[in-house]
A and B are shown apart, each in its own frame.
Chain A
Amino acid sequence: MTAPTTAIDLAASVRSGETTCAAVVDEAIAEIEARDGEIHAFNHVAADEARSRAAEIDAMVADGVDPGPLAGVPVALKDNMCTRGVPTTCSSKILGDWRPPYDATVVTRLREAGAVVVGKTNLDEFAMGSSTENSAFGPTRNPLDTSRVPGGSSGGSAAAVAARYVPLSFGSDTGGSIRQPAALCGVVGVKPTYGAVSRLGLIAFASSLDQIGPFTHTVADAALATEAISGHDPGDSTSIERGPLDISRQLDVGVAGLRVGRITDLPTGADPDVVERLDEAFEALAVAGAEIVDVEVPAFTYGLTAYYLVAPAEASSNLARFDGVRFGARVNAADTNAMYMATRSEGFGAEVKRRIMLGTYALSAGYYDAYYGRALKVRRRIADDFASAYASCDVMLTPTSPSVAFEFGSKTDDPLAMYLCDTYTIPSNLSGDPGMSVPFGTGEHGLPVGVQVLAPALEEARMFRVAAELERSAP
């Protein structure tokens, strides 16, 4: 593998004319073509589009125009973000060979920042899963150990960075789908505050939980990338009305005086190697001047239940649009209802059907109050408990994933076992607060362990300060 190159360094060398964007993009595409047959991070490589955009970037530099903070940086996008004229599949058969007629806002922002999209990455179908084994196009392999999963659902994006095809990729996180694969692939992964990044053009799974964020090798790259995609978008009615997040300038402030919360009633179930790394992370922050304080988040443990009632309920509604009428695949039948049934039964995979059924049940007459209604109250309880805990601490640390990367097939027969992968990441999707995973040493089999940093809504700068300290002190 080639030495790690950061997005920040690449952009600097493209901006200064030291290297051309064309050369950078050619190298990324060559790496993907040479090695992705085995890894399968990508569903689609947009080589022609990337090369023509690279030529535009190089022309700008030649003309003395600054292409932006991500000048010439090749990026990969999870294949649930709409890219105009470039196939967007959600790793599902139901979208067929659909090419969106518009770009997601994130895609537009990246373009404006000078980045070059080189391709679309594999995911669990419609982002439902924690291993990228639920893709209609076959699984992605973990570049660090190809007998193991990369995590999911944004497994392709995590693998694209871990395999060093590109220094920067983007995923979506509904219950941990950026942070968990980041932990399993040994990279940095960020879920920003709900509403900080536009969801326009992100094909919806659970609209009140979904959020787009970056994968990178370094905390500084993640900060720059998060800044580039954040800020108000009038096209997303849940977008928070404020400008881009301001993170990078505070990365080196350190953690002296910060109160770092240790959740005493955190759900058990994390493997001993993961718990050891977490303990060492607390120690490292204490050495750097932070104060470690015990906090309680009693409803944390009910996150899994609340999530698996709320997210499927929203998904069952969102995925009703895939009916064979306006886009994607259609299975013909004698009347429209039969066509809907045939198209959806043929087009959706087993896990997507399972969640649509669960959500439809949770919303159905007679069960709505008992399931969906109660889940929304538990959700409030979780958000309130976080808010109370943040009265006595500034950030919290937890494991990202209960284990290091697991082997293919080890959880596919038991949906509930797979769901438990997201025990530690789900609660902040429900509350809307930001969270990120930072590599912190290794565990069993020499595989990477991620530590999760949690912060209150819109306190990304504080969260990243802690992440930067963990990066500096990582074993």
Chain B
Amino acid sequence: MSPPLTRDDVAKVARLARLELTDDELDSATAELTKMLAHFADIDALDLDGVEPMNNPTHLANVMRDDVEGATLDRDEVLGEAPSVEEERFRVPPIIGLDE
């Protein structure tokens, strides 16, 4: 069905998932994922043409509520659990500009 998974593929996937893997972790992840995907090839033989994908067991779609005010989380309680806060906001390290 698909070309074999390479170490580079796994490194790319890790990057997309914002995970840093050591060389050893990369090796074992490549081996494990390869083994799993081989097992999951059992569905390759199925003829699934025309089968409607099912992403949810309910028949609900676009569930809306009335546009009325309701209770919200307590701001101080929420911010009190954040790793870093400044002036009632979540504080993060610089997002852009470090590379220039």
Complex: chain A residue closest to B14, CB-CB: A357
A contact residues around B20 at 8 Å (CB): 341-342, 345
In the bound complex, do residue B60 and residue A305 qualify as a contact, i.e. CB atoms below 8 Å apart?
no
CB-defined interface of B10-33 with A at 8 Å, one 1/0 digit per residue? 100110111111000100010011
**Most chain A C-beta atoms within 10 Å of own C-beta, residue among B57, B73, B82:** B57
User: Is the pair A208, B56 in contact by a Cβ cutoff of 8 Å?
Assistant: yes
Tell me how far the C-beta of B54 lies from the nearest C-beta in chain A, rounded to whole angstroms.
4
The answer to whether A101 and B74 touch across the interface, beta carbons within 8 angstroms, is yes
Contact of B39 with A416 in the complex, beta carbons under 8 Å: yes
Quick one: given A302-B46, A327-B81, A334-B98, are A457 and B57 in contact (CB under 8 Å)?
Answer: yes
Q: Is the CB of B33 within 8 A of A335?
A: no
What per-residue 1/0 map shows which CB atoms of A310-327 lie under 8 Å from chain B? Answer: 000000100010011111
Q: Shortest Cβ distance from B15 into chain A, in angstroms?
A: 9
When A195-B58, A208-B55 are in contact, do A358 and B33 touch as well, CB less than 8 Å? yes
* Bound Cα distance A358, B13 (Å): 8
Chain A 363-375 near chain B by CB (<8 Å), digits 1 or 0: 0100100110111
| Contact B19–A341 (Cβ < 8 Å) | yes
- Distance (Å) between the CB of B73 and the closest chain A CB? 5
Instruction: Of the listed stretches A4-12, A34-42, A234-242, name the one at the interface; the rest are far from the partner chain.
Output: A234-242
Q: Is there contact, CB below 8 Å, between B18 and A344?
A: yes
Chain A residue numbers with a CB within 8 Å of B55 are: 208, 376, 379
Number of inter-chain CB pairs below 8 Å: 158
Cβ of A201 to closest chain B Cβ, rounded Å: 12
Expressed in whole angstroms, the minimum distance between the Cβ of B23 and any Cβ of chain A is 14
Known A341-B20, A361-B13, A381-B48; judge A336-B93 contact (CB<8 A): yes
B54 touches A379 (CB 8 A): yes
- Docked-complex contact A381 and B36, CB < 8 angstroms: no
B83 adjacent to A416 (CB under 8 Å): no
Asked if A329 meets B58 with Cβ closer than 8 Å, knowing A234-B65, A357-B13, the reply is no
- Find out whether the CB atom of B13 lies under 8 angstroms from the CB atom of A323: no
User: Among the listed stretches A22-30, A140-148, A155-163, A348-356, which one makes contact with chain B, having 4 or more residues with CB under 8 Å of it?
Assistant: A348-356
Residues of chain A lying within 8 A (CB to CB) of residue B78:
101, 326
Contacting residue for A357 out of B33, B39, B43, B65, CB 8 A: B33
Kindly list the 10 A-B residue pairs having the minimum CB-CB distance in the complex, ordered from nearest.
Answer: A432-B57, A376-B53, A330-B83, A380-B54, A237-B63, A377-B51, A377-B48, A345-B20, A101-B77, A194-B57
B residues whose Cβ falls under 8 Å from a Cβ of A: 1-2, 5, 9-10, 13-14, 16-21, 25, 29, 32-33, 35-36, 39-40, 42-43, 46, 48, 51-58, 60, 63, 65, 73-74, 77-78, 81-84, 90, 92-95, 98
Question: A354-B29, A379-B53 given. 17 additional CB < 8 A pairs?
Answer: A194-B57, A208-B57, A237-B60, A301-B42, A304-B39, A316-B17, A323-B18, A327-B82, A328-B83, A339-B92, A340-B18, A344-B18, A345-B20, A353-B29, A357-B19, A371-B40, A433-B57
